[in-house]
Amino acid sequence: MAEKTGTLYGIGVGPGDPELITLKALKILRQVPWIFAAASSKNTYSIALNIVRSHLNGAGIENLPFPMTRDPDLLAAAWEQNARRVLAVLEAGWDAAFITLGDPLTYSTFGYLLKTLKQLKPDLKVVTIPGVTSYSAAAAACQTPLSEGEESFYVVSGALGAARLREALARTDTVVILKTYRHFPEIYRTLADLNLLECAVCISRVGLEGETVVRDLRELAGRPLPYLSMIIVKKPKQREGEPPVPATG
Ligand SMILES: C[S@@+](CC[C@H](N)C(=O)[O-])C[C@H]1O[C@@H](n2cnc3c(N)ncnc32)[C@H](O)[C@@H]1O
């Protein structure tokens, strides 16, 4: 073990466009000798790595495999193994970066890594560099303000189920639904039931090849969405005397 343990930088590389990386992230990516990226255990593809590849200058690159499963035991075991690997590099005295899509503390694998590393070594030095979130880039792509004045917005997972999606829609002005991919049919039905299809826009692969902005969700009915897709629902302003969007039915 080296005398001094290295620092881990958790870096958000933005949602896709390589120009949406912060100057700070870029500086660190060009300084660190080792870069980790999360990849599925089935292949070595990392979207985050593809985004930064053109910016790198010689750092070693290592994919950390994580299984596409919801089994908490399998996930915990994979994260412990990944955290131990990261720790081994840091304890050899090297600084390292862990790159993630968008922001590292928004629905990101970095959260799991951070938690596991802090359990293994509570005094580990970790610096987190925020990134442009996917929904900021999506709002920009469709020029839809997420909130104005006293409005508020929720960011939810598409996997939360119809009942909780209705609750979210009833409680706030704008709802951003991430992780829509496999859940699109249920989301579509919920929005249709609430007469909100016309207030929704679906943004896929923002900043990446094949970016699309679909303002009429009916065009997408029955079709698979690209993996990187989200839906922004901006509710119409309630006029006096009108009932709010119901939470049920
Ligand atoms: C695991 S979350 C990652 C969120 C990311 N950390 C962030 O800050 O935006 C993955 C979800 O983010 C959304 N997403 C990420 N990048 C995207 C992109 N370029 N275009 C559209 N949606 C994207 C999709 O909803 C996808 O299912």
In whole angstroms, give the CA distance from residue 122 to residue 139. 38
Give the CATH number of the domain where residue 221 resides.
Answer: 3.30.950.10
Give domain status of residue 1, yes or no: no
Whether ligand 1 lies within 6 angstroms of the CB of 206 is answered as yes
Give domain status of residue 249, yes or no: no
Mutate to test the pocket of ligand 1, among 103, 178, 181, 233 (most ligand atoms within 8 A of CB): 178
Residue ending a domain, choose from 106, 129, 152: 129
What is the domain count for the chain? 2
42 pLDDT more than 80: no
174 pLDDT more than 80: yes
Give domain status of residue 240, yes or no: no
| Cross-strand partners of 201 | 232
Residue in the block written with tokens 């991430």: 178
Alpha helices in 143-210 (DSSP H): 162-171, 184-193
Give domain status of residue 242, yes or no: no
Give domain status of residue 102, yes or no: yes
Whether ligand 1 lies within 6 angstroms of the CB of 16 is answered as yes
Give the CATH number of the domain where residue 80 resides.
Answer: 3.40.1010.10
**Using 50, 70 and 90 to split pLDDT, how confident is the model at 68?**
confident
pLDDT of residue 246: 63
Give domain status of residue 59, yes or no: yes
- 195 in the same domain as 148: yes
Give domain status of residue 81, yes or no: yes
- Kindly give the pairing relationship between strand 200-204 and strand 34-40: unpaired
Neighbours of 65 (CB within 10 A): 15
pTM score, whole prediction: 0.92
Average pLDDT, the chain: 93
Range of 147's domain? 134-234
Closest CA to 47 of 221, 203, 209, 170: 209
